Structure 1
Amino acid sequence: MSVKECTHHKNKKAKLLRKLCACFLILAFIVLLIFLITWAILQPKKPKFTLQDATIYSFNVSAPILLSSNFQVTVSSHNPNSRIGIYYDKLDTFATYRSQQITYFTGIQPVYQGHHDTNVWSPFVYGTNVPVAPYNGASLSQDQSNGAISILIKMNGRVRWRVGRFISGRYHIHVTCPAYIPFGNKQNSMIPGIVVGAGIKYQLSVRCSVNV
């Protein structure tokens, strides 16, 4: 008799467990469906970044293939969403040359970007005696003698989305801005520069690629 009661209780617990699992799956499906429908209605769009200008203060290549640079870039970010705000929790700006990082990271203060708002940042990007890979050394020296260089201004960090009171988790954001910057031999420069203090400012207005 005790064996039958034990089996009965086990079956009852198994049925209860199956019901709980079914309820959990249904609830998870409903939450996911609501999220997808809301996301489709809001039609979230990635922020749009533009590299507006670059001011060159110094750019020197010295042996044995060491690079010292100091320049300031102006980057704008526009939120194209009408119902979604963006938290920029972290943004690090740096420059690369032929896939090699040539400056230190420059952090930007966290900021919230409202609907259709535009933020403008002007960080200084620099590096002192940064070793350049041997396979890039010859190209870098040649670019310097030619008076212009093609680099990438990058911004990596984390963002969160805000819809009403709901705030999402953190997402990685990667921004890449191509920049053709003339310096040194001004006769070969195709982009006019404006003297600003000890530097020369070049208007670029380049659209950046954004991956989130």
Structure 2
Amino acid sequence: MPANPMFKKRLYHGPHNRTHPLLWLAAILCTVFAIAVIFVGIAAFIGYILIHPRIPTLSVSFAHLDLLRNDLAGHLQTQVRIDVRAQNGNGKAHASFSDMWFKLSYQGQDMAVLRSDPFDVAKNSSKYLNYVVQSSSIPLTPDQMAEMTNSWQRNLIGFDLKGNARTQWRIGRLGSVKFWCHLECMLKFHPLNGSYIPSRCTTESK
């Protein structure tokens, strides 16, 4: 079947079957676009490398056990103050925090959830979030009641704090770099006076 003369006319011009200028133009535009994509990728990677050493973190900077009360029926009431520090140690990029939640529990018994609306932290700066966690009367199992008795005798009690938050760097016009920060630690107190026993309680990025 003979080739369509109209199709041939669109692709070639002249007696020597030279490539049509529109095909050259399309090829040039594709090449320029590919180079631009590669350049943007390299620039973003370089920007990431420059700011990567200091990942934003969340950590417990201070805490206090305001109330710890349990009755003979095995019901527990608590009030805990927790100060969380959001730190951006990078001097070249702002950081934002979102989707933040941390669960406070005792011996596997959930007490409260700490949340926060999205917020920003300026370059090489930090922000403090102050929580007052009040738990309603929590029924304890016999094993938990025995552990509570031991805590009073040893003057030492621990609460588990576990959760996640999303952090993000804005790198000018190059876009952003996102991380998930994971926190899992135990907050320890002296129940007789409510004082906090400082320990490492800092997020790890992944």
Same-fold status (TM-score > 0.5): yes
Structure 1 residues 109, 3: CA separation in 2 closer, same or farther (over 3 Å shift)? Answer: closer
**Which of 83, 87, 104 is the equivalent residue of 1:74?**
83
Structure 1 residues 54, 143: CA separation in 2 closer, same or farther (over 3 Å shift)? Answer: farther
How far apart, CA to CA, are the structure 2 residues paired with 1:37 and 1:206?
Answer: 32
How far apart, CA to CA, are the structure 2 residues paired with 1:158 and 1:8?
Answer: 58
How far apart, CA to CA, are the structure 2 residues paired with 1:5 and 1:42?
Answer: 57
How far apart, CA to CA, are the structure 1 residues paired with 2:37 and 2:172?
Answer: 22
Per the TM alignment, residue 71 of structure 1 is displaced from its structure 2 partner at its CA by 1.2
**With structure 1 as the length reference, what TM-score do the two structures score?**
0.67
Partner SS for 2:45: helix
Contact 2:161 2:186 in 1 (8 A): yes
What CA deviation, in whole Å up to 9, does each residue of 1:39-94 have, x standing for no partner? 21233422244323322233456799765432111222322111121122343333
Paired positions, count: 193
Q: Could you tell me which residue of structure 1 aligns to residue 149 of structure 2?
A: 145
- Structure 2 unpaired stretches of 5+: 13-19
Q: Could you tell me which residue of structure 2 aligns to residue 163 of structure 1?
A: 171
Per the TM alignment, residue 144 of structure 1 is displaced from its structure 2 partner at its CA by 0.8
Q: Could you tell me which residue of structure 1 aligns to residue 15 of structure 2?
A: none
How far apart, CA to CA, are the structure 2 residues paired with 1:86 and 1:53?
Answer: 22
Partner SS for 1:50: strand
Contact 1:53 1:201 in 2 (8 A): no
1:108-187 equivalent positions in 2, closer than 5 A: 108-129=116-137, 137=141, 139-147=143-151, 148-164=156-172, 168=176, 171-183=179-191, 186=192
Structure 1 residues 101, 152: CA separation in 2 closer, same or farther (over 3 Å shift)? Answer: same
Contact 2:187 2:196 in 1 (8 A): no
Q: Could you tell me which residue of structure 2 aligns to residue 190 of structure 1?
A: none
Contact 1:92 1:157 in 2 (8 A): yes
How far apart, CA to CA, are the structure 1 residues paired with 2:106 and 2:138?
Answer: 12
Partner SS for 1:46: coil
1:93-112 equivalent positions in 2, closer than 5 A: 93-97=102-106, 100=108, 102-112=110-120
Q: Percent identity?
A: 17
Structure 1 residues 51, 110: CA separation in 2 closer, same or farther (over 3 Å shift)? Answer: same
Supply the RMSD in Å over aligned alpha carbons.
3.8
Please say if 1:86 is aligned against 2:95: yes
What CA deviation, in whole Å up to 9, does each residue of 1:66-123 have, x standing for no partner? 654321112223221111211223433331346x461232323443211221222221
Instruction: Single out whichever of 57-66 and 200-209 deviates more from structure 2.
Output: 57-66
Contact 2:189 2:195 in 1 (8 A): no
How far apart, CA to CA, are the structure 1 residues paired with 2:177 and 2:205?
Answer: 16
Q: Which has the larger radius of gyration?
A: 2
| One-letter amino acid of the structure 2 residue matched with residue 52 of structure 1 | S
Q: Could you tell me which residue of structure 1 aligns to residue 16 of structure 2?
A: none
How far apart, CA to CA, are the structure 1 residues paired with 2:24 and 2:50?
Answer: 39
Contact 1:67 1:130 in 2 (8 A): yes
Q: Could you tell me which residue of structure 2 aligns to residue 196 of structure 1?
A: none
Structure 1 residues 61, 23: CA separation in 2 closer, same or farther (over 3 Å shift)? Answer: farther
Q: Could you tell me which residue of structure 2 aligns to residue 209 of structure 1?
A: 203
